[in-house]
Structure 1
């Protein structure tokens, strides 16, 4: 599943969900690197 996270105040990264961290952040895989950040909430209509 693709997820988008924010890293810092203005950088967004989209990648494959790897896992959830205890502090509420999630990890995503982009290529061969894993990034962790706050998930961008989705809007359900």
Structure 2
């Protein structure tokens, strides 16, 4: 919704994620994945 309403603000707000090829819409999903990997003692290698 923010992207549609104010694309420039969206880009500033999520520039780090966009630069690192992570869609801001998938942030919660990605955090859950990382958290589960931490709990299992795994790291992305």
Comparing both chains, which one has the higher relative contact order based on Cα–Cα distances under 8 Å and sequence gaps of 6 or more?
A: 1
TM-score, normalised relative to structure 1: 0.18
TM-score, normalised relative to structure 2: 0.18
Larger relative helix fraction: 2
